[in-house]
Amino acid sequence: MTILHPKTKEELDGILANAGEKLVVIDFFATWCGPCRQMGPKFNKLAVEYPEPIYIGIDVDEHETIAALYSINVMPTFIFFKNGQKIQTIEGNNYESLRRMVENNK
């Protein structure tokens, strides 16, 4: 499964709108963030193990406006959407919580 990297808020909004009933998982990260570097390969692995959801990566330094809209203060932050609605947020380097959330909502 490919991880999408939208360049604009409009592109992100389009992905969320077109996802339908699919789970969408957004990873807000920073390249300088140690926990983000640890979670990055795990996020990629999750996308392979559970290909049903839509996976999105957003670099908070490149997309400060999008990060601000979602009140991102901790990296990494993972936000889960289903049917266009936010259903959960997980902050920090917590792979098991991330995996369980995907498993339970895929």
Q: Among residues 25, 33, 54, 67, which one is catalytic?
A: 33
Q: What span, in angstroms and rounded, lies between the C-alpha atoms of 90 and 18? A: 23
Assigned token pair, 67: 């990060």
Q: Among residues 12, 16, 36, 67, which one is catalytic?
A: 36
Domains of the chain: residue spans and CATH: 3-105 (3.40.30.10)
Instruction: Name beta bridge partners: 77.
Output: 28, 91
pLDDT in the model for residue 106: 82
Assigned token pair, 34: 């140690």
Q: What is the mean predicted confidence (pLDDT) over 50-75?
A: 96
88 in Cβ contact with 81 (< 8 Å): no
User: Which residue, among 10, 27, 19, has the nearest Cα to 84 in the 3D structure?
Assistant: 19
Is-catalytic flag, 31? no
- Summarize pLDDT for 20-48 with one digit per residue, the tens: 999 999 999 999 999 999 999 999 999 99
- Confidence tier at 18 by pLDDT (50, 70, 90): very high
When the pLDDT of each residue in the chain is averaged and rounded to a whole number, the result is 95
Is-catalytic flag, 53? no
Q: What is the mean predicted confidence (pLDDT) over 12-20?
A: 95
Give the sheet arrangement for strand 85-91, strand by strand. 3-4, 54-59, 24-29, 77-82, 85-91
